[in-house]
Amino acid sequence: MNLKELAAPVMDDVISWRHCLHAHPELSGQEKETSAFIEKTLKSFGVDTVRRVGTNNVIALLRGNSAGPVVGLRADCDALPINELSGVEFSSRVPGVMHACGHDIHTSMLLGAARVLCGLRDRIHGTVKFFFQAAEETAQGAREIAEAGELDRIDPPACAAALHVDPKSPAGTFKVRRGVSSASSNGFELTVTGKGGHGAHPDQCIDPIPIAAQVITSLQQLVSREIAPDDPAVVTIGTIHGGQKSNIIASEVVMTGTIRTLKPEVQRELFDAIPRVARLTAQALRGDASVCIKDGTPVLINDSREFERFLAVAESVVGKDRIIYSGNSSMGSEDFAFFLEKVPGAIFNLGVGTAGTDNAPLHSAHFRADESAFINGVAALTGYALAVCGQQPGTDEAEL
């Protein structure tokens, strides 16, 4: 029996779970009902333990019939502040909240893998540790799991794997990248201060709004003129707020943005350069500026050994011709990176795009997924656990 044949009997439930979760999304840090649903469903399978970690993270253990390594499988479960426009029958019932990043799919596929593996307990030599992680969009959930010692002290996994859906890749394919997979991400707040007053008398004021415009322009030159051309980096200003009325010159402007890099040394360069450029640009125009850079998500680096192990499983599920090798690292971030700082592992993308359709990207109000791909995700997660803690049914150890 192959892995897709193992997964097939649970797929109706996987689709049903996905529809339920999609219709009832919860924002990062608010996943109370989602976590309760996950707990109840896991207990119905007969896993050995289910517990909460941090605010809404759910962790479950499935112990095999003999001692062996612990393998970690992770899915995220939070939603985004987006008003859904996808048009699917199971659209969000919560105004302004949507599973636009596919976390409902990740959760449902991992629940499916958990159910399959519970039926294969006699083949498992070790323990499968399931991580249903909350608050991925704010990087809080993975941080809570790491800080609680779940990755290095309490039933520590020897390795770990995760999947993320990709609507821009054909349904059922796996998109993979060796080494650096996704960027670090740090938010920052930039405050430009001036001197407020009457809009009719700008000479008697120090207007922070045109100063802020100059600061934004100067920051864009950091990547093009201070970072090496072969070192990808992004500095984006995402919000800008200042002023109260058309005839009043404000006293300050507050902006927020994000910094993305693929190398720690480039990250450090930008951490030094952004406050410098902001401050000196503002001072040249009689104002001032301060920058607060926030803790964020580290660079995600796939471990070479676990990448090859997961790749062998993926190839056994879909065939080598359905593996897409990505030429570039993503400048998006993924807080599975916190797992991979402590545990060797890998993350792959599962294609959910529909052929002949202009598939909306992740984080879009129009995001949709081809559900025919989900069986491949369940099969791959199941196969990875068996590759670590047992032997895939019908497969020789040497083939893995």
Q: How many domains does the chain have?
A: 2
Residue 390 confidence (pLDDT): 83
In this structure, are 63 and 193 located in the same domain?
Answer: no
Checking if the pLDDT of 392 tops 90, the result is no
Assess whether pLDDT exceeds 60 at residue 239: yes
Q: What is the mean pLDDT of residues 347-354?
A: 98
Residue 313 to residue 395: CA distance in whole angstroms: 10
pLDDT tens per residue across span 12-28: 999 999 999 999 999 99
Nearest by Cα to 99 from 305, 352, 292, 357: 352
Q: What is the CATH number of the domain that holds 275?
A: 3.30.70.360
Band (pLDDT 50/70/90 cuts) for residue 400 is: very low
Q: Which of 293, 316, 347 is the last residue of a domain?
A: 293
90 vs 129: CA distance, rounded Å: 30
Q: Is residue 172 domain-shared with residue 307, that is, in the same domain?
A: yes
Mean residue pLDDT of the chain comes to 96
Q: Is residue 271 predicted with pLDDT exceeding 60?
A: yes
- Among residues of the chain, what percentage have pLDDT more than 90? 96
Q: How confident is the model at residue 1 (pLDDT cuts 50, 70, 90)?
A: low
Residue where one domain finishes, among candidates 293, 315, 350: 293
Side-chain-side CA neighbours of 127 within 13 Å: the count stands at 17
From 293, 317, 335, the end of a domain falls on: 293
Q: Judge if 30 and 164 occupy the same domain.
A: yes
**Ramachandran angles phi, psi of 327, nearest 5°:** -80, -20
User: For the chain, what percent of residues have pLDDT higher than 70?
Assistant: 97
pLDDT per residue as tens digits for the range 85-139: 999 999 999 999 999 999 999 999 999 999 999 999 999 999 999 999 999 999 9
Q: Does the pLDDT value for residue 280 go beyond 50? A: yes
Residue-level pLDDT at 398: 36
Q: Closest Cα to residue 86, out of 99, 70, 74?
A: 99
Tell me, yes or no, whether 209 and 315 share the same domain.
no
Residue 130: give its domain's CATH number.
Answer: 3.40.630.10
Residue 362's alpha-carbon distances to 234, 302, 332, 381, in angstroms, are 19, 22, 11, 22
Do both 153 and 23 map to the same domain? yes
pLDDT in tens, 319-338: 999 999 998 999 999 999 99
* Average pLDDT estimate for 166-183: 98
Range of the domain at 58: 3-183+299-399
290-322 residue pLDDT tens: 999 999 999 999 999 999 999 999 999 999 999
Q: In terms of pLDDT, which residue wins out, 373 or 395? A: 373
271 neighbors 265 (Cβ within 8 angstroms): no
Q: Measured in Å, how far apart are the chain's first and last C-alpha atoms?
A: 16
> Per-residue pLDDT for 276 more than 80?
yes
Rounded Cα–Cα distance for residues 322 and 329 (Å): 19
Confidence band of 356 (pLDDT split at 50, 70, 90): confident
